[in-house]
Amino acid sequence: MMRLAIVSAVLFIAFSFQSCFKEDEMVTPHPRGDVKTDTIPMTENYLYQVYYSLDSGEIVGSNVKTLFDLGFECNQPGWHVILNTSNFMKVADLGSVPFGSAYDTAGINMLFDKSDGNPDSNAVGQWFTISGADTVSNGHVYAVSRGLDELGNPLGLYQVIFDSLSNNTFYFRYAPLSGGSGITAAVVKDPSVNYIYFSLKSGTVVNAEPSRESYDLLFSQYTTMLFTDEGIPYPYLVTGVLLNRNLMRAAIDSTTDFLAINRESALTLHYSQAMDVIGYDWKYYNFTSGVYTIRPKLNYVIQSESGYFFKLRFVGFYNKDGLKGYPVIEYQRL
């Protein structure tokens, strides 16, 4: 029988973007902060995505995970389109076929966005060619599965064609995958956020993400690749923590006692900007006790958007009523 080999080594093969930080970059020493503890209310079915600031020690944003489907890159000259991986979304490039005709997903290889956050490895890929100062569609139709809701119910299938990116505005059309008249939509970039989002169900732009400089961590479900004992990759929906895209970096320390980690030891660690470097496996399901158990030796050091270093560990996954989906974190500014 094939068993998922869920090991922390998966996290270390994530892309490293250390080159984005100067090697001699230093943070001015300052008094250490107090140890803080907080509970993150994702809820029992992991319905909510929760944005957290280590600097302010508070939740700065929260949304129902089924609120949106597609994300559009807002930096300059960003053009990437991402999926809402918290819903197990996937997409397939159908090629240059008539938009609005009836299609199905039988025999189609549908792809997921990688959980490390590298936009050059996302499932939609480069959907355009360059024409002057604008990007123009390659004419391909994409089959989009909206994935599953928090109860495991399918959210529906659509077809999408991305028409252009002009004057900081994405133009695209979408229709049911089973065929039908297309709906035209436009999404204008917002430079204050990493991505701005769109719901295929409601046909509206969604401002799910708070200001890109206001948060450090995103507590959410997300899709990642696990591996069987035979080394076969297997997409799986996990519950964990992602870094603020492009602005954060973090390191894992599984050898030093949490209380002993200080700024000096933090500077010796290997950091990564992969979004999933903290990830999901700070916990595991204990089949003997029937509950999720925290791995006590996993500590994380995070450099926040402000430049400060924080050490963090998980001390629980349940609220006071015994409901799962409430990660309890303990952290301290170094």
Per-residue pLDDT reduced to its tens digit, 194-233: 999 999 999 999 989 999 999 999 999 999 999 888 888 8
Cα distance between residue 171 and residue 95, in whole Å = 18
CB 184 within 8 A of CB 160: no
Using the predicted structure, report yes or no on whether residue 131 has a pLDDT greater than 90: no
Whose CA is closest to 15, among 93, 117, 138? 117
Strands 169-176 and 183-188: antiparallel
List beta partners, residue 91. 111, 144
Residue 234, pLDDT score: 86
List beta partners, residue 92. 143
Whose CA is closest to 127, among 78, 169, 93? 93
CB 273 within 8 A of CB 18: yes
In the structure encoding, which two tokens stand for residue 246, read together?
Answer: 């492009």
Q: For residue 1, give every residue at least 6 positions away whose Cβ sits within 8 Å of its Cβ, in sequence order, or none.
A: none
Q: Which residue would you say has higher pLDDT here, 285 or 130?
A: 285
In the structure encoding, which two tokens stand for residue 61, read together?
Answer: 């944003």
In the structure encoding, which two tokens stand for residue 91, read together?
Answer: 């997409």
**Among the ranges given (3-17, 24-38, 152-166, 262-276), the one the predictor scored with the smallest mean pLDDT:** 3-17
At residue 31 the predicted structure's pLDDT band, cuts being 50, 70 and 90, is low
At residue 129 the predicted structure's pLDDT band, cuts being 50, 70 and 90, is confident
Strands 36-39 and 128-131: unpaired
Buried b (16+ CB within 10 A) or exposed e, 301-330: bbbbbeebbbbbbbebbbbeeeebbbbbbb
Please give, one letter per residue, the 3-state secondary structure of the chain. Answer: CCCECCCCHHHHCCCCCHHHCCCCCCCCCCCCCCCEEEECCCCCCCCEEEEEECCCCEEEEEEEHHHCCEEEECCCCCCCEEECHHHCCEEEEEECCCCCCCCCCCCCCCECCCCCCCHHHCCCCCCEEEECCEEEECCCEEEEECCECCCCCECCEEEEEEEEEECCEEEEEEEECCCCCCEEEEEECCCCCCEEEEECCCCEEECCCCCCCCCCEEEEEEEEEEEECCCCEEEEEEEEEEECCCCCEEEEECCCCHHHCCHHHHCCCCCECCCCCCECCCEEEECCCCEEEECCCCEEEEECCCCCEEEEEEEEEECCCCCEEEEEEEEEEC
Residue 134, pLDDT score: 79
Q: For residue 212, give every residue at least 6 positions away whose Cβ sits within 8 Å of its Cβ, in sequence order, or none.
A: 192, 193, 194, 244, 245, 247
Q: Which residue would you say has higher pLDDT here, 39 or 34?
A: 39
Residue 306, pLDDT score: 82
Whose CA is closest to 85, among 35, 46, 37? 46
Per-residue model confidence as pLDDT tens digits over 58-97: 999 999 999 999 999 999 889 999 999 999 999 999 999 9
Q: What is the dihedral of CA 131, 132, 133, 135, to 10 degrees?
A: 0
